[in-house]
């Protein structure tokens, strides 16, 4: 078969799979933060919501969606008790809710006991969190909430709790355990919770970034991770084998935002305090011709620390924590525009059709054009603070604030 035809078939298969999965992890399929729907408005009022429902406790995690159900986690700020809630995507009705006993731990003022987003597949919902007993991972039946298995991956040492979200790949659940203490990347069997592979990592500072999957047209997949101690790494997601690694990328800067794959490059960021200090574009290693991984270029000025960038049409869009939005050309790193949109941001932008959506910490949704020239399209008060990233499935945008979940958009029936 012609290799171009084969690549097209594989790409179509991946696209079909993504559509069926909905929004299965933090920032959607493979962590790309992308949706092609044009059914989400650029601005709206309170009366336009499909539904808006309260959640138990508070949380900073983001919702995930599978087959008409929305899953979201939260925690009680007084005793750390956690909840996993499953709601109908069509009307917000609570389908089931699971209480997970936990404890408190010392965390920073800007975080909560619920920061890591869950992951979901056809059969199970997965959640990860840290308390004084260590790093926990649990699998629940997706349809009933019944607990299937639970693992304690050991002690956790960090200043700000836990933030890296679990992700699924085929029949594996990948957990990032980059911390000040003994660190690792672990893949568990989705069915049983048993360890399938574990890779020890360097330990310097805890990292809060969530790994991504980068897929090639030939069907190859790479697990891309970023941390202070290991820099930017590529692992075989099936075995944990190291493909390549740039360990000296960030120096002693902390890594919070997740990596992004775009235009054949890997973008990764780091920072300190309340601001981004470094955003690098990395050209991955090519085993076919023996080319090693290398930094292609470094971006300067108004960089993100916590919010993860998003790409579209050969452009990369990112927002600094203090509210400066930028657009660069992916191939060259040339800045197309930089505009102050105001506010402070912990949530990450996603691209929906031709628009970028991002929520500020005070709970304002900011919408602007995903284009080479800046155009502000909307500013919507959500009525409550938020540190979360929106999710999209079946032409509907799902928004999580500290204690509410809401839905907007959709096509008229």
**Separation between Cα atoms, residue 184 and residue 52, nearest integer Å:** 39
**Separation between Cα atoms, residue 257 and residue 243, nearest integer Å:** 22
Q: Compute φ and ψ for 14, nearest 5 degrees.
A: -65, -40
**pLDDT recorded at residue 413:** 64
**Which DSSP symbol is given to 291?**
B
Report the candidate in 111, 125, 52 with the shortest Cα–Cα distance to residue 80: 111
**pLDDT recorded at residue 217:** 64
Query: Which tokens sit at 335?
Result: 């800045």
**Whether pLDDT at 284 is above 50:** yes
> What is the pairing mode between strands 212-215 and 221-227?
antiparallel
Do residues 117 and 61 touch, judged by C-beta distance below 8 A?
A: yes
Q: How many CA atoms lie within 13 A of 396 on its CB side?
A: 27
**pLDDT recorded at residue 14:** 37
Report the candidate in 300, 375, 372 with the shortest Cα–Cα distance to residue 336: 372
Do residues 217 and 11 touch, judged by C-beta distance below 8 A?
A: yes
* 123-138 per-position pLDDT tens digit: 999 999 999 889 999 9
**pLDDT recorded at residue 385:** 97
End-to-end, the C-alpha distance of the chain in Å comes to 42
**pLDDT recorded at residue 204:** 86
* 319-368 per-position pLDDT tens digit: 999 999 999 999 999 999 999 999 999 999 999 999 999 999 999 999 99
What region does 338 belong to: left with phi over 0, alpha with psi -120 to 50, or beta? Answer: beta
**pLDDT recorded at residue 345:** 97
Kindly tell me the burial class for residue 44, based on how many C-beta atoms sit within 10 Å of its own C-beta (0-12, 13-18, 19 or more): middle
**Separation between Cα atoms, residue 272 and residue 253, nearest integer Å:** 6
Query: Which tokens sit at 329?
Result: 């050309």
Average confidence (pLDDT) over 294-304: 96
Domain edges within the chain: 3-409
Average confidence (pLDDT) over 282-292: 89
Report the candidate in 105, 115, 38, 100 with the shortest Cα–Cα distance to residue 346: 115
pLDDT band at 13 (very low <50, low <70, confident <90, very high): very low
**pLDDT recorded at residue 219:** 67
Q: How many helices (H) and strands (E) does the chain have?
A: 1, 33
Least confident of 42-46, 110-114, 254-258: 110-114
**pLDDT recorded at residue 111:** 80
Report the candidate in 362, 358, 387 with the shortest Cα–Cα distance to residue 61: 387
**Whether pLDDT at 218 is above 70:** no
Share of the chain above pLDDT 90, in %: 82
**Whether pLDDT at 225 is above 50:** yes
Kindly tell me the burial class for residue 25, based on how many C-beta atoms sit within 10 Å of its own C-beta (0-12, 13-18, 19 or more): buried
Return mean pLDDT, the chain: 92
Average confidence (pLDDT) over 167-193: 96
Report the candidate in 21, 302, 358 with the shortest Cα–Cα distance to residue 170: 21
**pLDDT recorded at residue 183:** 93
| DSSP track, 225-241 | EEETTTEEEEE-TTT--
Average confidence (pLDDT) over 201-225: 89
CATH class of 3-409: mainly beta
* 228-244 per-position pLDDT tens digit: 999 999 999 999 999 99
Least confident of 26-35, 89-98, 272-281: 272-281
Average confidence (pLDDT) over 3-16: 35
* 49-59 per-position pLDDT tens digit: 999 999 999 99
**Whether pLDDT at 289 is above 90:** no
């Amino acid at each position: 078969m012609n290799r171009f035809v084969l690549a097209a078939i594989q790409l179509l298969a991946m696209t079909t799979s993504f559509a069926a999965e909905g929004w299965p992890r933090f920032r959607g399929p493979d962590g790309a933060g992308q949706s092609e729907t044009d059914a989400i408005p650029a601005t709206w009022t309170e009366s336009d919501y499909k539904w808006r429902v309260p959640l138990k406790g508070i949380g900073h995690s983001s919702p995930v969606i599978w087959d008409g159900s929305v899953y979201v986690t939260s925690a009680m700020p007084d005793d750390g008790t956690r909840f996993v809630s499953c709601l109908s995507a069509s009307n917000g009705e609570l389908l089931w809710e699971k209480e997970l006993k936990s404890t408190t731990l010392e965390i920073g003022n800007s975080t909560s006991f619920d920061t890591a987003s869950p992951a979901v597949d056809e059969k199970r919902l997965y959640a990860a969190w840290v308390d004084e007993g260590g790093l926990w991972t649990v699998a629940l039946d997706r349809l009933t909430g019944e607990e299937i298995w639970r693992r304690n991956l050991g002690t956790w040492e960090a200043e700000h709790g836990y933030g890296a979200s679990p992700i699924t790949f085929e029949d594996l659940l990948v957990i990032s355990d980059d911390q000040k203490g003994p660190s690792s990347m672990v893949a568990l069997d989705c069915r049983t919770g048993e360890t399938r592979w574990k890779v020890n990592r360097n330990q310097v500072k805890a990292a809060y970034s969530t790994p991504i999957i980068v897929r090639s047209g030939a069907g190859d997949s790479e697990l891309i991770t970023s941390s202070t101690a290991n820099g930017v790494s590529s692992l075989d997601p099936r075995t944990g084998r190291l493909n390549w690694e740039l360990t000296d990328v960030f120096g002693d800067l902390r890594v919070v935002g997740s990596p992004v794959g775009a235009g054949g490059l890997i973008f990764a960021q780091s920072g300190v305090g309340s601001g981004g200090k470094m955003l690098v574009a990395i050209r991955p290693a090519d085993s076919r011709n023996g080319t090693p991984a290398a930094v292609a270029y470094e971006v300067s000025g108004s960089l993100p620390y916590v919010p993860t960038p998003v790409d579209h049409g050969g452009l990369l869009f990112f927002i600094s924590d203090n509210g400066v939005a930028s657009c660069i050309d992916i191939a060259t790193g040339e800045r197309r525009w930089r505009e102050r949109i105001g506010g402070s941001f912990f949530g990450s932008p996603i691209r929906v059709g031709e628009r970028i959506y991002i929520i500020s910490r005070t709970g304002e949704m900011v919408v602007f054009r995903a284009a080479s020239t800046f155009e502000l399209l909307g500013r919507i008060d959500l009525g409550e603070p938020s540190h979360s990233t929106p999710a999209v499935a079946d032409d509907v945008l799902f928004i999580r604030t500290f204690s509410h979940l809401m839905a907007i958009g959709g096509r008229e029936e």
